[in-house]
A and B are shown apart, each in its own frame.
Chain A
Amino acid sequence: MMSVDGLMEGEFFMNGDDACAEGAIAAGCRFFAGYPITPATEVAERMSRRLPEVGGVYIQMEDEIASMNAILGASWAGVKSMTSTSGPGFSLMMENLGLGIMLETPCVLVNIQRAGPSTGIPTLIGQGDMMQARWGSHGHYEIIAVVPDSPQEMFDLTITAFNLSEQFRIPVLIMSDEVVGHMSEKVVMRQVAPEDLVTRPRPAVPPEEYSPYLSGDDLVPPMAVAGEGYRFHVTGLTHDERGYPVMTAEAQDKLVRRLVDKIRLNKKHILRMEEVGLDDAEIVVCAYGITSRVAKRAVQLARQEGIRAGLLRLIVVWPFPEERVRELAAQAGAFIVPEINYGQIVLEVERCAAGRARSILLPHMGGGVHHPETILEAIREAAV
């Protein structure tokens, strides 16, 4: 059913892309700029239909570069904004993802991953953009990326993504995939209570005392928006607390440290993971997105065989849950990392395990998902 203010409530049978769009609307997103691309087009299509119903604006831009910029502009006008894309479009968005990070602009970027490189297989799954999500824009930064495993999580985690982006003034990435985007399952939608919707920190001082990048202990500066009389200046150049360009190593040091540390030092507020049977696990399968659902089945089958296997499902993949992987490395003998690429997140697992546990990659080049038996066989081998 639809509430009077146009939000959906109840149980629906819906695909992940549509659920993502509904999650955005429930989170208060009222501006979407995008460009058609398989397999993310359904997000844009639903937003084009739904945003006008709730008083929002949809615009189809000339490319993904423009889409990313338009959502930054909308955010600076005070409106929660989102774009969605897949591989080739994600590459084009990298330039201004960096601008969003530098200006500290809340917004959400959805990547329904398909198989690459280049045009790859537009209609079939890949998880090959995980490191691009981490490092794809130039310069050194931290990012937040969430990975849904179901249409339900496409709804729920889109709300989470908006909340994190507003709380930490950073673009948040939803690193979904073609299978989760296109599969239809039950999705329970709810209206989000106003107190559960985070809004960006706002200036508490009059315009003449306002510095756009002066922050307190949480390192997140209050954000004025255009049209309120603050007459602020912001720039993609290295800048001081006033937002003015300063071309020195000292200013660079201060700014980049804060941009990175506001995520690193607030990790405990950001990290989310699901753990299955890890208490006594000797074999830890570390997986994310659709692959984690296959892994969950393999872990169940292994337990039935008496193997002490468990699952660490990454819900927030960036920042990476280093401490938890370190703890598990002290307890378990091996990590098995199935992913639909030729080894990306396994590198992080290996780094954190630091030789205390083996890290075994189970790669799939894309175009399909792992078979539970493949992961089960790897668990059996590792348990020997």
Chain B
Amino acid sequence: MIGTKTLTDNPVDLYLRADRMPHIWCSGCGVGPSVACFVKAIHRTGLDTDKIAIVSGIGCSGRVAGYVKVDSFHTTHGRAIPFATGLALANPELKVVVFSGDGDLAAIGGNHLIHAARRNIDMTVICYNNFNYGMTGGQLGPTTPLEAKSTTSPYGNCDPPFNLPHLVAACGASYVSRWTVIHPRQLEKSMAEALTKPGFTFVEVLGPCPTTYGRMNKLGRGVDELRAYQERCVVSNGVDPRDAEIGLNGPILVGNFVDLSRPTFWDHCVKIFGRAQKK
């Protein structure tokens, strides 16, 4: 009919659990947009979705596993990576993705994060970093910038944060990037690269949390936080991630930082365990 447009299914509907909508995320939250980039990245790679498994921990971004229509596991706080390690090693045909938050992955799960990177386990870790614990109401976390306010740093944060790309790169990750939700194209492309590269690949996604972090630090609404990212981000592909620290103010370096090849844990297993079978 003239003047009307036929609505067709969105090509990424296939990857989402429509029966679970609406989702739990607040208005202005960046987890949803990062999931949108993620499912587009899956679409872009053409990976067999029957062979993708997503594991999440606990927290706002820990709920991602529940909305993506693949085999998906919502586990315990901080433990998505070791759960995913078991999945990946017991069935190397799986593409195992961990999608979780900065507090989950880098504080309570920090030990698992560094060891999975060291082992170069075949796994893509997507870390949504909103600089605080959102689900519990806005406490300081391992990425909260110095001086930032939170419900547990009412005078300002005195607890120096991790620079996550530097941390995982130093531990041996094969691929490390950082983008924000205002870089959807770069983010989607980077996620697709991470999904298709062997070994431990890590994508940090910076995004707003207007309900807690944004409110306490007077950053305005979600859209105002996005504007701040637009002003502060400097695309710096290939930069040494040690230089990518994030402060309360000042530039935020984003880009694809590390892309290298080293044997994965499974490569070593095949080679070394093979000695036992030849006996």
| Contact surface of A with B, Cβ cutoff 8 Å | 30-31, 33, 49, 52-53, 55, 57, 59, 61-63, 65-67, 69-79, 81, 95-96, 98-99, 103, 224, 226-237, 244-245
Contacts and interface: CB of A to CB of B under 8 A. Distances in A.
A49 to B, nearest CB: 8
Interface in B235-267: 265
A99 B276 contact: no
The 6 closest A-B pairs by CB, nearest first: A73-B86, A52-B276, A77-B90, A235-B74, A66-B82, A74-B90
Contacts of B71: 76, 224, 226-227, 230-232
Contact of A99 (B75, B81, B274): B75
B143 to A, nearest CB: 21
25 contacts: A31-B89, A53-B277, A55-B277, A57-B273, A59-B89, A61-B85, A66-B82, A69-B75, A73-B73, A74-B86, A74-B87, A75-B86, A76-B71, A76-B86, A99-B75, A99-B76, A226-B71, A226-B87, A227-B71, A227-B91, A230-B71, A231-B70, A234-B74, A236-B75, A236-B76
B84 interface: yes
Interface in B35-54: 49-51, 53
A244 B66 contact: yes
Contacts of B65: 233, 235
B72 interface: yes
Contacts of A61: 82, 85, 115
Contacts of A103: 73
Interface string B65-107: 1100111111110010111111111110110000000000000
Nearest to B53: A226
B152 interface: no
Given A73-B55, A77-B94, A226-B53, 16 more contacts: A52-B276, A53-B277, A61-B115, A66-B115, A70-B86, A72-B83, A75-B90, A77-B91, A79-B90, A227-B71, A229-B50, A233-B72, A233-B73, A234-B73, A235-B66, A236-B76
A55 B53 CA distance: 23
A96 B81 CA distance: 13
A98 B20 CA distance: 25
Nearest to B89: A57
B85 A66 contact: yes
A73 B84 contact: yes
A52 B50 CA distance: 28
B150 to A, nearest CB: 25
A63 to B, nearest CB: 7
A374 B216 CA distance: 67
Contacts of B70: 231
B74 A95 contact: no
B86 A33 contact: yes
A59 B85 contact: yes
Contacts of A95: 76, 79
Interface residues of B, number: 43
B279 interface: yes
Nearest to A95: B76
Contacts of B51: 227
B27 interface: no
Contacts of B276: 49, 52-53
B17 A96 contact: no
A54 to B, nearest CB: 9
B111 interface: yes
A77 B86 contact: yes
Contacts of B277: 52-53, 55
B112 interface: yes
Contact of A53 (B79, B81, B112, B279): B279
A31 B92 CA distance: 13
Nearest to A65: B79
A73 B72 contact: no
B79 A233 contact: no
A69 B57 CA distance: 12
Contacts of A55: 277
Contacts of A69: 75-76, 79, 82-83, 85-86
Nearest to B94: A227
Contacts of A63: 111
A232 B275 CA distance: 37
A70 B82 CA distance: 5
Q: Taking each of B81, B82, B272, B273, which has the highest tally of chain A beta carbons within 10 Å of its own beta carbon?
A: B82
A152 B87 CA distance: 32
Q: Taking each of B20, B79, B112, which has the highest tally of chain A beta carbons within 10 Å of its own beta carbon?
A: B79
B269 interface: yes
A132 to B, nearest CB: 18
Contacts of A78: 90-91
Contact of A236 (B74, B111, B115): B74
Given A99-B75, A236-B75, A73 B273 contact: no
A3 B73 CA distance: 38
